């Protein structure tokens, strides 16, 4: 029987490769199964990386349906979200989509990040927004739409992250979190507001941007949502936090010195701490937020597990290859430039391309995969060195399904960093992070 002493949390992880949803009790333990529905961004030759907004929202609704239909008599206290950072989508005056969901991997706006670098002092903007100019962020994407899709620009009544649009359709409220806004590249990290200078340059009124709700803000589900899901009649909605913030929280890394190294679709290394944004953010890194009082600093690579998946497909490699990787010696004459999905940290070069160099008849796909793992490990070591400039990295937790799938990769990275990487006890760190945030709001724990 459910009581106030054991409230229930509906947690949703709206990721780039799947949506996960599940119920958790007041101690953070799962109640029933976690539903997982896979999704795929549509790729194109010119750098497109899009998700159909209607289909993605229906998929999220279906995940919630499956979770709550298995528990008809319960009542949920909190709905806690996380979602992938950096997405952009437009809605018209009837709240219908004017654009697909543009993901971080969509590079069609690359010409406009170059323009921004010419118009602004990027060092100052990086210090203020926590982001370099790059096609993965909103300023370049908005300029691209304004200049090359003027009909869409005129029809769009508001600009949102995918999580905001999903929240609007499911629960009737599109307000965004500090966390989600913080990773757009158009957010003043110190003031926790939209960046006025960039808004003026793009030519967009702040009224077209999502309203930012503080961590104390309360969002209630709409009547339509309660009619569909009576279990949410008394629930409060926590607007989605970024998946990177949720993953860091879920891995148990909540103060300076505690880093999480994640390899899933992409790869990243991050630390979280309570305090003010960095006054001198190391070049090549980013600084976002979990909320008004907690900062997430780190770096992200566009190539991670997605590159290994690509190479396996290209070379026709199936099954478990850990044994082969562990016994294969790396050939120093073979080199992989790990920019097949573009470059974010640390160079943010829009023209970076993936390459396989030195391949000949002595090599096979396993050789290439092993060298690719080393190349990505080198990129992560670069991020780690820059993090050390900000604060010493005292411990590292491993996160992400790909890192679990390939234990040898963790060993390669450990050798590069000269540090031990401890596997996380949590398989679903991002989902776990959303649960912990709700438990904090319930007063069940301090983070």
pLDDT, residue 45, reads 86
Q: What's the mean pLDDT when you consider all of the chain? A: 96
Rounded (10°) CA dihedral 149, 150, 155, 158: 70
Are 202 and 332 members of one domain? no
Are 131 and 239 members of one domain? yes
Among 57, 100, 70, 356, which residue's Cα sits nearest to residue 225? 57
What is the number of domains present in the chain?
2
Q: At what angle do helices 305-315 and 365-390 cross, to 10 degrees?
A: 170
> In sequence order, which residues have a C-beta less than 8 Å from that of residue 431 and are 6 or more positions away?
11, 13, 20, 22, 34, 82, 246, 250
Are 131 and 237 members of one domain? yes
Q: Is the per-residue pLDDT at 436 higher than 60?
A: yes
Mean pLDDT of 336-343: 96
Compute the distance between CA of residue 366 and CA of residue 116 in angstroms, rounded to an integer: 41
pLDDT, residue 152, reads 98
CATH code where residue 395 lies: 3.30.420.40
Among 231, 243, 191, 236, which residue's Cα sits nearest to residue 212? 191
pLDDT, residue 102, reads 98
Are 181 and 274 members of one domain? no
Compute the distance between CA of residue 225 and CA of residue 229 in angstroms, rounded to an integer: 6
Are 47 and 184 members of one domain? yes
Question: Is 418 contained in some domain?
Answer: yes
Are 212 and 327 members of one domain? no
pLDDT, residue 426, reads 81
Are 157 and 44 members of one domain? yes
Are 265 and 206 members of one domain? no
Higher-scoring residue by pLDDT: 351, 3: 351
The percentage of residues in the chain with a pLDDT greater than 90, rounded to a whole number, is 94
Q: At what angle do helices 138-148 and 110-119 cross, to 10 degrees?
A: 110
Question: Is 1 contained in some domain?
Answer: no
Decide: helix, strand or coil at residue 136. coil
Are 364 and 418 members of one domain? yes
Q: Is the per-residue pLDDT at 1 higher than 70?
A: no
Domain residue limits at 88:
8-244+430-441
Residue-wise pLDDT for 80-102, tens only, equals 999 999 999 999 999 999 999 99
Residue-wise pLDDT for 270-297, tens only, equals 999 999 999 999 999 999 999 999 999 9
pLDDT, residue 27, reads 92
Are 229 and 93 members of one domain? yes
CB 107 within 8 A of CB 126: no
Sign of the torsion angle spanned by Cα atoms 369, 39, 239, 160: positive
Are 397 and 364 members of one domain? yes
Question: Is 3 contained in some domain?
Answer: no
Decide: helix, strand or coil at residue 385. helix
Place of tokens 């609007």: 168
Are 411 and 435 members of one domain? no
Question: Is 399 contained in some domain?
Answer: yes
Q: Is the per-residue pLDDT at 430 higher than 80?
A: yes
Question: Is 283 contained in some domain?
Answer: yes
């Amino acid at each position: 029987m459910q009581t106030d002493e054991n409230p229930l949390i509906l947690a949703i992880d709206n990721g780039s490769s799947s949506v996960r949803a599940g119920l958790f009790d007041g101690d953070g333990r799962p109640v029933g199964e976690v539903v997982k529905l896979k999704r795929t961004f549509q790729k194109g030759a010119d750098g497109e990386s899009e998700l159909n907004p209607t289909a993605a929202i229906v998929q999220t609704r279906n995940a919630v349906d499956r979770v709550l239909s298995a528990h008809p008599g319960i009542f949920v206290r909190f709905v806690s979200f996380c979602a992938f950072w950096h997405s952009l989508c437009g809605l018209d005056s009837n709240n219908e989509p004017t654009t697909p969901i543009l993901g971080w991997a969509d590079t069609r706006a690359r010409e406009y990040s170059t323009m921004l670098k010419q118009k602004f002092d990027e060092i100052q903007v990086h210090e203020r927004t926590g982001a370099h100019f790059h096609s993965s962020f909103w300023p370049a994407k908005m300029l691209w739409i304004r200049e090359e899709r003027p009909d869409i620009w005129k029809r769009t009544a508001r600009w949102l992250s995918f999580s905001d649009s999903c929240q609007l359709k499911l629960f009737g409220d599109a307000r965004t979190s500090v966390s989600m806004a913080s990773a757009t590249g158009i957010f003043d990290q110190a003031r926790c507001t939209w960046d006025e200078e960039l808004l003026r340059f793009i030519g967009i009124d702040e009224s077209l941007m999502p309203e930012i709700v503080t961590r104390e803000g309360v969002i209630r589900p709409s009547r339509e949502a309660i009619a569909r899901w009576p279990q949410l009649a008394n629930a409060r909605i926590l607007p989605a936090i970024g998946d990177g913030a949720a993953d860091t929280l879920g891995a148990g890394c909540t103060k300076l010195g505690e880093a999480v190294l994640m390899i899933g679709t992409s790869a990243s290394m991050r630390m979280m701490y309570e305090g003010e944004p960095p006054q001198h953010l190391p070049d090549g890194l980013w600084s976002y937020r979990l909320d008004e009082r907690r900062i997430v600093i780190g770096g992200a690579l566009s190539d991670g597990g997605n590159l290994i998946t690509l190479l396996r497909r290209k070379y026709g490699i199936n099954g478990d290859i850990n044994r082969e990787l562990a016994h294969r010696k790396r050939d120093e004459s073979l080199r992989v430039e790990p920019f097949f999905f573009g470059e974010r940290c640390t160079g943010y070069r829009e023209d970076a391309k993936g390459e396989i160099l030195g391949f000949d008849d002595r090599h096979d796909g396993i050789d290439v995969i092993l060298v690719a793992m080393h190349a990505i490990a080198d990129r992560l070591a670069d991020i780690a060195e820059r993090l050390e400039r900000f604060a010493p990295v005292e411990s590292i937790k491993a996160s992400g399904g790909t890192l679990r799938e390939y234990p040898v990769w963790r060993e390669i990275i450990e050798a590069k960093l000269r540090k031990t990487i401890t596997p996380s006890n949590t398989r679903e760190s991002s989902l776990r992070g959303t649960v912990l945030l709700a438990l904090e709001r319930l007063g069940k724990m301090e983070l």
